Amino acid sequence: MKVKKFIASNMTEAMKQIRAELGDEAVILNSKVTHTGGFIGLFRKRKFEVIAAIDPQTSKNQVKIKEKQRPVPSKPEIKQNEKVNSNEIQKELLDLKKMVEELSSSTKNASFDYFPESIQKFLAFIDKQGIAAKYMQLCGEYLLQHWRSSNAEPSESEIFSWGRKYFEEKIMLLYTEEEQAYSKKYINLVGPTGVGKTTTLAKMAANAVIDEHKKVAFITTDTYRIAAIEQLKTYANLLQVPVEVVYNLSDFHQSLEKFKEYDIIFIDTAGRNYREMQYIEELKKVIDFRKEMKTLLTLSLTMKEEDIRAIIDSFQSIRIDQFIFTKLDETTTYGSMVNIMLDYLVATAFITYGQDVPDDIDAATPSIILNHIFEDEKR
């Protein structure tokens, strides 16, 4: 890895030096402000000292971010009886997990057999879509009540219609006027690496500018990758909107003051492994979450549901107002959206399904979400 120190009069000039010598795929390892010259502390010149690096083996289109690893105790520090106890506990946990899974599976199969065949077919369909067993059971009971109160044998089409209505009513309870996408001035997107935050932010901003004629500005806190800043600046130039790069909480407040006459301020953040609490704390050092702000957690529907839950749980210290689900075009199952929304009682603001800006994005109404689940139904 090639590492070099750059000194400039301001951060913008430092970025230009880094990009010219190391390229857009360089990563910033450290930055600080220094002072030179002067007399007894007066008339000193302020300088920015930045340490950047580039890995020659890294693909031009891929930046590998090396994250700090937690220290692991060396083997001599672990006593033999601790090893035995740990192994026994691990085995007991695995046995318990297996027992719960088997019990859950047998319970679900039994509940399927309890319902009429037409309802079983619907439940099998939403099971394939990844709807959680507890919601399948509740929906099945709802359908059974309608089935019993019908004067004639309901058709499969009617069963599917009732089932869709059940989920639509449940999801609708999460949406209020306060949950409208642009109900607040500051729209902050957070989320892990690779979910498409910057592209999604550009789509939202383009729709706000073009369709709603809003006066829009960008703020980015993603100072780790130069390419990320350049990507947002490209979108800003296309939309003819200003963009500010902030490095700390002071910069953030100055940018808010600078854009106080604007209608909507879109805030882009760095993608990190947000299952690690240290990155949540880093966010708080740059963004003032007390402002009139809506924070949207951006998640990819290609992620495992258990990983999505781990990320959401790590954000307990920051209020998540709504979700954004991306990459719907890269999967054929959408049930995890419903499970996550109903479990956490949080609405979804947008869904995205491609890279085109300003297209490939929809405001996520309950009807649109369920359209994705039921579009391929086989009746």
Based on the domain organization, do 311 and 340 belong to the same domain?
Answer: yes
Is residue 63 in a domain? no
According to the model, what pLDDT value does residue 322 have? 95
Instruction: Using the 3D structure, point to which of 36, 54, 72 is the last residue of a domain.
Output: 54
Query: Per the structure block, which two tokens stand in for 108?
Result: 């679900």
CATH of the domain at 190: 3.40.50.300
Give pLDDT tens digits for 290-341.
Answer: 778 999 999 999 999 999 999 999 888 888 999 999 999 999 999 999 999 9
According to the model, what pLDDT value does residue 6 have? 82
Based on the domain organization, do 166 and 208 belong to the same domain?
Answer: no
Is residue 70 in a domain? no
In a 10 Å sphere around its CB, with 0-12 CB exposed, 13-18 middle and 19+ buried, how is residue 170 labelled? middle
Nearest to 198 by CA among 241, 228, 167, 238: 228
Is residue 105 in a domain? no
How many domains does the chain divide into? 3
d(CA 136, CA 159): 13
Based on the domain organization, do 296 and 327 belong to the same domain?
Answer: yes
Based on the domain organization, do 331 and 243 belong to the same domain?
Answer: yes
Is residue 97 in a domain? no
Based on the domain organization, do 196 and 251 belong to the same domain?
Answer: yes
Element (H, E) at 47: strand 45-54
Contacts 24+ apart (CB under 8 A), 278-282: 278/68, 280/314, 280/315, 280/317, 280/318
Residue 53 φ/ψ region, left for φ over 0, alpha for ψ in the -120 to 50 degree band, beta for the rest: beta
Give pLDDT tens digits for 165-221.
Answer: 999 999 999 997 655 666 789 999 998 888 999 999 999 999 999 988 999 999 998
Please state the φ and ψ torsions of residue 291, each to the nearest 5 degrees.
-70, 170
Query: Per the structure block, which two tokens stand in for 150?
Result: 């019908």
Based on the domain organization, do 208 and 222 belong to the same domain?
Answer: yes
> Where are the strands (E) in 271-336, listed by range?
293-300, 322-326
d(CA 269, CA 190): 6
Nearest to 236 by CA among 259, 220, 253: 220
Q: How far apart are the first and last CA of the chain?
A: 57
Contact 131, 170 (CB under 8 A): no
pLDDT at 51 over 70: yes
- 170 to each of 53, 128, 174, 345, how far by Cα in Å? 50, 20, 8, 10
Based on the domain organization, do 325 and 256 belong to the same domain?
Answer: yes
Residue type, 58: T
According to the model, what pLDDT value does residue 57 have? 56
Based on the domain organization, do 192 and 154 belong to the same domain?
Answer: no
Is residue 228 in a domain? yes
Based on the domain organization, do 184 and 155 belong to the same domain?
Answer: no
Based on the domain organization, do 297 and 366 belong to the same domain?
Answer: yes
Q: Is 330 helix (H, G, I), strand (E, B) or coil?
A: helix
- Computed over every residue of the chain, the mean pLDDT equals 81
User: ω before 116 within 30° of 0 (cis)?
Assistant: no
Residue labelled with tokens 């039921």: 374
d(CA 291, CA 282): 17
Is residue 340 in a domain? yes
Based on the domain organization, do 118 and 147 belong to the same domain?
Answer: yes
Instruction: Using the 3D structure, point to which of 54, 73, 98 is the last residue of a domain.
Output: 54
Based on the domain organization, do 261 and 193 belong to the same domain?
Answer: yes
- 190 forms beta bridges with 297
Question: Of 41-50, 229-238, 272-281, which has the strongest mean pLDDT?
Answer: 229-238
Three-point CA angle 17, 34, 270, nearest 5°? 60
Instruction: Using the 3D structure, point to which of 158, 173, 188 is the last residue of a domain.
Output: 173
Is residue 211 in a domain? yes
Question: Structural domain of residue 146, as residue ranges?
Answer: 114-173
Is residue 198 in a domain? yes
